[in-house]
Chain A
Amino acid sequence: MTAMTPTPYRVVTRHAETHDTVTLTLEPCDAAIAPVRPGQFTLLYAFGVGEAPISVSGTGPLLDQTVRDVGAVSHALTVAGPGQMIGVRGPLGVGWGIEETTGRDVVLAAGGIGLAPLRSALLYALEHRASYGDITLLVGARTPGDLLYAAEMADWRGRGVRVEVTVDRAHSGWDGQVGLITTLVSHLDAAPDAVAFVCGPEIMMRLTARELLARGIDDVRISLERNMRCGIGWCGHCQLGPWLLCRDGPVVPYRDAAPLLSVREL
């Protein structure tokens, strides 16, 4: 048993979120991994296929992990049904740090699959509702059919979260907003000392963070993606400038990341 050995888990439920994305709920076969903080990730292993870094989307001892089918490993994970064994290594990386931002408004801004790591922060805040100010969730998706956790949004609204959704392309029957997530940010009503957590494609995070800064919110944290082979600082693949993102990230302060993200192919 080393840091490179997966811990066996079993799929309890498999919930199809969209045409290419599923949420697996995993339970340990024997021993569990250490408790996961919101924003941390695991490496999920499909037997004989390989490992992929997947963020943890819930707060419980069972692991909610939302996987989008984009390659061989993620495909094997998305087709895993109840009872199937999955290897888990983690928890890895630093999280959002929401545990330390009590007393403040919370803004969560998600693009596409970027909602997956934010869901854990949102659920954490709801479990400690009295400790936080206003909670706002801004979600951008390509189409209404690409929205994750659509069935849960009513519940979140009911528990006092302001949820705003926009899509790039609507179909008939969509009565929500159409356009960029930055438009949602420009109508944001949050105190300047709010903390903002942003996850999505890099361009979306940059534009969203800039808009948040323009709205006077300075504490913007983003969750970055880079190739990860080990998750524990051995392999060197996830470097971005001074960071090993598996160790120093994936969540980093936007103000530190901004000069790095503006350099092509860094």
Chain B
Amino acid sequence: MPWILDGLADLHGALRADGYTVIGPTYRDGAIVLAELASADDLPYGWGVTLEPGGYRTRRREDDAAFAHSAGPQSWKPFLHPPRVKLWEGRRTEDGGFSIETEEETPPRYAFLGVRPCDLRAIGVLDHVMIGGAHPDEAYGARRTGAFIIAVNCTEPGETCFCASMGTGPRADTGYDLVLTELIGEGRFLAEVGTGAGAALLDRIPREEADEAVTEGALAEVAAAADRMGREMPEPEGLRDLLAGSLDAARWDDVASRCLTCGNCTMVCPTCFCTTVEDVTDLTGEHAERRQRWDSCFDLDFSHLPGGSVRTSGKSRYRQWLTHKLGTWHDQFGSSGCVGCGRCIVWCPVGIDLTEEVAALREEQEERRD
């Protein structure tokens, strides 16, 4: 049964009372970032965003909506799959060998407040990569299992959003404990339950039953958002074959003439998971550490082999990224790696738009076929 919440202070308070570190969107330094929310007042009320390829600006809205902004520079990835992790410490032993110690870290208990449907799917995609295989990353698993997820259906898609065409939004389907739909202009939220934990939390806070008309009205707003996406991924169901058949496309030279190989797209992407492993010592050589940190397929050393890097040209590195994200991700992990959040378009310093690149690859393929 859907409920109506008058503001989010009680919800936030209940999460804090349960010991959760509540993470959600907040306004900082001219952007909507994800950070710990000390109270529900920290939400970015009245802020919207204007997005374009290579451009992001916050703007004041005429209402006080909390969730009327689309994806910001961060996703939830840094919380679940942190950019830097110490894996273990080693020290020399007296017999000339070494011993290795892994710290037993208490995983944080996060409550994610305000997870967009695109980002919710991204967490599912990341789960499959990080803990769905033969060697699950247990530290990720601990962070993930402990997380309480409050999704927010999207009523304000941005100019670079294309979740509707990727089938990931604007309405959240599964993977949340609670899902909210903001009744913009009213300061109230429709709340629906996804899990028993979500229901138990709702039971403890003041709420009203939502009548049918309010529920239908709110969800109609969400459905209507599908038609206001600023972008569309052309023929998403054929992407795997398109990319596999486009390895020698001329378009890669075109995009490479614009791409700076900076790797921003991989940093902001909510599913890009690649890491490197760094083994370091202190000056005495007696203590060593192994660290894992985010890496990018745009880095020249990413494909390093003793004879030289496999992918030296910018063309080959962009091709690797796009082909993996939209194509071979299906082979490796059973789904697309793209959820349609549009971050890679916004945070690309030269505004490369993957939906445009896909359209061009499609056109080239059709020309070759004719």
Is B276 in contact with A229, judged by CB distance below 8 angstroms?
yes
- Kindly state the separation between the CA atoms of A146 and B292 in the bound complex, as whole angstroms: 36
Q: How large is the interface on A (under 10, 10 to 19, 20 to 34, 35 or more residues)?
A: 35 or more
Say yes or no: A45-B332 contact (C-beta < 8 A), given A4-B88, A247-B134.
no
A88 and B77 alpha carbons, distance in the complex (Å): 30
Chain B CB within 8 A of A130 CB: no
Question: How does the 8 Å CB contact mask read for A223-266 relative to B, with 1 for contact and 0 for none?
Answer: 00111011011111101011110010000000000000001111
Q: Tell me whether chain A's interface is mostly helix, strand or loop, or mixed.
A: loop
* Contact A244 B310, beta carbon cutoff 8 Å: no
Taken together as a complex, chains A and B put the C-alpha atoms of A23 and B167 apart, in Å, by 53
Say which one of A48-56, A117-125, A169-177, A208-216 lies at the interface with B: A48-56
Q: Are B275 and A236 in contact (CB under 8 A)?
A: yes
Q: Contact mask B296-312 → A, CB, 8 Å, 1/0?
A: 01000011111000111
B87 contacts the other chain (CB 8 A) = yes
A70 touches B (CB below 8 Å)? yes
Could you tell me if A4 and B277 are in contact, using CB atoms closer than 8 angstroms? Answer: yes
Asked whether any CB of chain B lies closer than 8 Å to the CB of A83, the reply is: yes
Inter-subunit contact A229/B275 (CB<8 Å): yes
Docked-complex contact B310 and A265, CB < 8 angstroms: yes
A1 within 8 A of partner (CB): yes
Determine which residue in A8, A50, A239 has the highest number of CB atoms from chain B within 10 A of its CB, and name it.
A239
Whether a CB of chain B sits under 8 angstroms from the CB of A87 is yes
Cα A198 to Cα B320 with chains together (Å): 26
When distances are taken between beta carbons in the complex, the residues of chain A under 8 Å from B328 are: 239, 241-242
Contact across chains for A264 and B303 when beta carbons are under 8 A apart: no
* Minimal Cβ-Cβ distance residue in A for B248: A263
> Given that A47-B288, A264-B316 are contacting pairs, would A237 and B96 also be in contact in the complex, using a CB cutoff of 8 Å?
no
Main secondary structure of the interface of B (DSSP, over half): mixed
Q: Contact check, B306 vs A70: say whether CB atoms are below 8 A apart.
A: yes
Are the CB atoms of A242 and B332 closer together than 8 Å?
A: yes
Q: Could you tell me if A237 and B102 are in contact, using CB atoms closer than 8 angstroms?
A: no
A236-B275, A237-B295 known; A5-B303 Cβ under 8 A:
no
Asked whether any CB of chain A lies closer than 8 Å to the CB of B196, the reply is no
Residues on A with C-beta less than 8 A from B302 are 227, 237
- Taking CB atoms and an 8 Å cut-off, the chain B residues in 315-330 that contact chain A are 315-316, 320, 324, 328
Binary contact track B57-72/A, C-beta < 8 Å → 1, others 0: 0000000000000000
Q: Encode contact with B along A7-18: 1 for CB under 8 Å, 0 otherwise.
A: 010100000000
- Cβ distance A8 to chain B, nearest Cβ, rounded Å: 7
Q: Is the CB of B295 within 8 A of A234?
A: no
Instruction: Assess whether A247 is in contact with B311, with CB atoms less than 8 Å apart.
Output: no
Q: Given A85-B97, A87-B100, verify A230-B303 contact (CB < 8 Å).
A: no
Which one of A85, A227, A235, A239 contacts B324 once the chains associate, using CB atoms below 8 Å? A239
Of listed B275, B277, B305, residue having the most chain A CB within 10 A? B277
Which of under 10, 10 to 19, 20 to 34, or 35 or more describes the interface residues of B?
A: 35 or more
Q: Number of residue pairs across A and B with beta carbons under 8 Å?
A: 124
A226/B303 in contact, CB under 8 A:
yes
What distance in Å separates the Cβ of B25 from its nearest Cβ neighbour in chain A? 28
Chain B residues with CB below 8 A from A3, complex form:
135, 137-138
CB-CB under 8 A from B306, the residues of chain A are 70-71, 74
A226: min CB distance to chain B, Å:
7
Q: Which residues of A contact B312 (CB under 8 A)?
A: 265
User: In the complex, which residue of chain B has the Cβ closest to the Cβ of A69?
Assistant: B306
B87 touches A4 (CB 8 A): yes
Determine which of B96, B280, B305, B313 lies in contact with A84 in the assembled complex, contact meaning CB atoms within 8 Å: B96
User: How far does the alpha carbon of A234 sit from the alpha carbon of B141 in the complex, in Å?
Assistant: 13
Q: Is B188 an interface residue (CB 8 A)?
A: no
B277 touches A2 (CB 8 A): no
Interface residue B84 (Cβ < 8 Å from any Cβ of A):
no
Q: Which residues of A contact B99 (CB under 8 A)?
A: 8
Chain B positions within 8 Å of A83 at CB level: 96
Select which of B92, B247, B303 is within 8 A of A237 by beta carbon. Answer: B303
A154 is an interface residue with CB less than 8 A from chain B:
no
Are A263 and B247 touching (Cβ within 8 A)?
yes
Within 8 A of A (CB), among B92-126: 92, 96-100, 102
Residues B279 and A247 in contact, CB atoms below 8 Å apart: no
Chain B residue at minimum C-beta to C-beta distance from A201 = B307
Confirm or deny: A6 has a beta carbon within 8 angstroms of a beta carbon on chain B.
yes
Chain B residues near A6: list those with CB within 8 A. Answer: 100
12 more contacts with CB within 8 A, not counting A8-B100, A227-B310, are A1-B102, A5-B102, A8-B98, A48-B281, A85-B96, A234-B130, A236-B274, A236-B295, A239-B320, A241-B244, A265-B310, A265-B316
User: Which residues does B use to contact A, with CB under 8 Å?
Assistant: 87-88, 90, 92, 96-100, 102, 130, 133-135, 137-139, 244, 247-248, 273-277, 279-281, 285, 288, 290, 292, 295, 297, 302-306, 310-313, 315-316, 320, 324, 328, 331-332
